[in-house]
């Protein structure tokens, strides 16, 4: 389960203070999963994904 942009915007330090340790661990797990997924998407190129070569940016060159 990923957190929505709305979820991220609504969470602040005061909310975090009210979490039990178990809730904090669960939230940390969701945030970590979201971060990993976002980094994987950022690292995708036509060479390592299903993106067609025509989507390669001019400055990426042929190797990605």
User: Would 41 be classed as within a structural domain?
Assistant: yes
64 or 3, which is more confident? 3
C-alpha–C-alpha distance, residues 3 and 52, integer Å? 29
- Is the distance from CB of 38 to CB of 9 less than 8 angstroms? no
User: Would 42 be classed as within a structural domain?
Assistant: yes
User: Would 6 be classed as within a structural domain?
Assistant: no
C-alpha–C-alpha distance, residues 44 and 64, integer Å? 9
How many domains are there within the chain?
Answer: 1
User: Would 4 be classed as within a structural domain?
Assistant: no
State the pLDDT at residue 39: 92
State the pLDDT at residue 63: 58
Could you identify the residue written with the tokens 């809730």? 23
User: Would 64 be classed as within a structural domain?
Assistant: no
Q: Rg of the chain over CA atoms, in angstroms? A: 17
Count of CB atoms within 10 A of residue 7's CB?
A: 13
C-alpha–C-alpha distance, residues 27 and 44, integer Å? 26
User: Would 30 be classed as within a structural domain?
Assistant: yes
User: Would 5 be classed as within a structural domain?
Assistant: no
User: Would 8 be classed as within a structural domain?
Assistant: no
State the pLDDT at residue 19: 93
Per-residue confidence at 1, pLDDT binned at 50, 70, 90? Answer: low
| Residue 23, domain extent | 14-46
pLDDT digits (tens, 9 = 90+) for 2-55: 678 888 888 899 999 999 999 999 999 999 999 999 998 888 777 777 777 777
């Amino acid at each position: 389960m990923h957190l929505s942009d709305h979820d991220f915007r609504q969470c602040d330090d005061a909310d975090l203070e009210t979490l039990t340790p178990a809730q904090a661990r669960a939230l940390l797990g969701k945030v970590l999963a979201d971060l990993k997924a976002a980094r994987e998407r950022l690292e995708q190129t036509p060479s390592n994904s299903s993106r067609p070569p025509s989507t390669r940016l001019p400055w990426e060159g042929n190797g990605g």
